[in-house]
Amino acid sequence: MTFHPLARIQIPAPDFVEPSLYVRLTHGDIHGDGAHIAPHATATFDTAFGIFSAGRWSRLTAIADLAVSMKVTGRCRIDLVAYSNGTDTVVATTESGEVLVCEHIRSLGAESFYVSVTALDEPVVVHSGEWSTSTAPERDVHLGVAITTFNRQEYVLKTIDRLVALEHSCPVVHGHMQIQVVDNARNLVPSVPAGAPVRVIPNPNLGGAGGFARGLIEFREAGWSTHVVFMDDDISLEPESIVRTISLLSYSLDPDLCIHGAMLSEEQPWLQFEAGSAYEFRAVYPLKAMGQGLDLRSRSEVIRDQLEPKIDYSAWWFTVFPMHIAKDNPLPVFVRGDDVAFGLMHTGKHTVTMNGIAVWHADFALKNNPSSLYYEVRNFALIDTLVFPNHKWYHLAWRYLGFGFRNAYSHRYSSAEYMAWGMRDFLAGPEEWMKIDHSAKHEEVRHVSEEKAMPLSDEMKSLGFTPPRAKAIRLGGFLLSPLTAGGRWIPKALKSDRVGVAQIDVRAVGLAIRHDRILYRHPRFEEGFICERDYKRFIAVQRDVFRSAFKIARSYKKLKRQYREHYEEMVSTESWKKRFQN
């Protein structure tokens, strides 16, 4: 019987800080060439990167059976275990190392499968394993990897090396993957072996949107790829993500299937930050991350089956889609929202996640600053205008006023000023948008001296960190703030001379009533910034925000029609190629 590989079972490197994502050991450790377990001890792979998600594979593919083989040194018993409704059932066992097979995975009704290795009367070393099936694939997948980079050599060179090594050594990937790195800084020189399927494309700095547009157009015109994965340059890639992506796409019953890799925290590798996202254009904060805060060390979180959630879009740290549903190019928005628009328009409704397809990424709270809000306000206004027919002027005005209010009333004046700047550029209309020199615009926008996370001084560290107040208290402060001009009219006796402390990614409206200075700091890292009350600036910010809101009310209907009329030109290959020539 011929078995086709589906996924690998791996032992992490000895220095990996959270090995329980891969294997659970009793009386053993990881060093040298694998997981070493003592006599009568056990290694189990009921882990985030070890299980086989039978429920999801059964719904998405037609595989009929499942096999697993383990590479082990020493005498041991290997069990293939099915998990269902809180019960673990051994479905196949070997002490001689042969392939274990479950012939009818659907009739068994398992939520997931995993392997258990028990040493008998001598120490055992577990090296690796592989999931496979005798079911033939549905299609031959050729995966184009598009990476956009700008001066992130430390990360991107490691990613390139891992991809090249994977393509060379893994049969599932060899001959099925090509890599294009669009270098927006035009200074990347990777060292790759001769014949490696890697191409570096120098590009003007057109942001992530421009880099991914370039990669997509290049793959489209080459005609080799069946699918493309967009991948950020500042991630730590688990190469197994590529193996499982190609396998799942090869077996998918839906030719339109798209795959999203979950984002795990680089600082806390066991913490899941996001696994897909919903989008609600009526909300002040429209992005709703799915699967946030999941502890992937928890057996109960990773082993049970869950139906695929409705995903609106997937972020471009790792998102995969078939070429035939990517006829449009990304919007020319530089950063922030390019992936949201693409998902809402093309890929989101076809997107699923899968265990073992993931990347690690730094905490976004350390990257956010007023320049991010410029892009967020400008670009999300464009997205809502293009995507949602029933999006009205008051939806846009409500979000803009709501978020502008939160910034102005929490001493975050620079954020409010950049928001107003972004809205002015949106209100200028599509003809002005098409004239933007995105590289020059970014140079102008990115020079922010305020509200940027920096290392804290000893004095600021000593202030500690105050967790958020109860929701009712925060709501009371929020309602009280406009009645007191953000705290300006509060009697001096009720004010505090101390510096207030808030989490870096919140708007501390209630805290700002009593405190003239607020330290916004990260809850896990010694970084943050101070914001101070400035009444003149407060008045100027409110005036700018309300002025733009009035303009939204007057001109939005006309702007919406104009932006929709210009959409095809904005995303056309011809207009993007003109930008590439700069």
- Length reported for the chain: 582
Whole-structure pTM value: 0.93
The whole-number pLDDT of residue 496 equals: 87
Tokens standing for 207?
Answer: 């942001």
Tell which residue, 356, 360, 306, has the closest CA to residue 6: 356
Q: What domains appear along the chain, each with residue ranges and CATH number?
A: 4-133 (2.60.120), 143-362 (3.90.550.60), 370-536 (no CATH)
Each residue's pLDDT tens digit, 336-376: 999 999 999 999 999 999 999 999 998 776 678 899 999 99
| Ranges of the chain with pLDDT below 50 | none
The whole-number pLDDT of residue 321 equals: 98
Each residue's pLDDT tens digit, 11-67: 999 999 999 999 999 889 999 889 999 999 999 999 999 999 999 999 999 999 999
CB atoms inside a 10 Å sphere around CB 472: 8
The whole-number pLDDT of residue 482 equals: 80
DSSP per-residue letters across 270-301: TEEEES-EEE-TTSSS-EEESSTTEETT-HHH
The whole-number pLDDT of residue 489 equals: 80
The whole-number pLDDT of residue 188 equals: 95
The whole-number pLDDT of residue 103 equals: 92
Write the burial class of residue 175 (CB in 10 Å: 0-12 exposed, 13-18 middle, 19+ buried): exposed
The whole-number pLDDT of residue 510 equals: 87
Which are the contacts of 213, defined by CB distance < 8 A and separation ≥ 6?
206, 329, 330, 332, 576
Question: Residue 146: beta bridge partners?
Answer: 180, 230
The whole-number pLDDT of residue 479 equals: 75
CB atoms inside a 10 Å sphere around CB 330: 28
Q: How far apart are CA 430 and CA 581, in angstroms?
A: 21
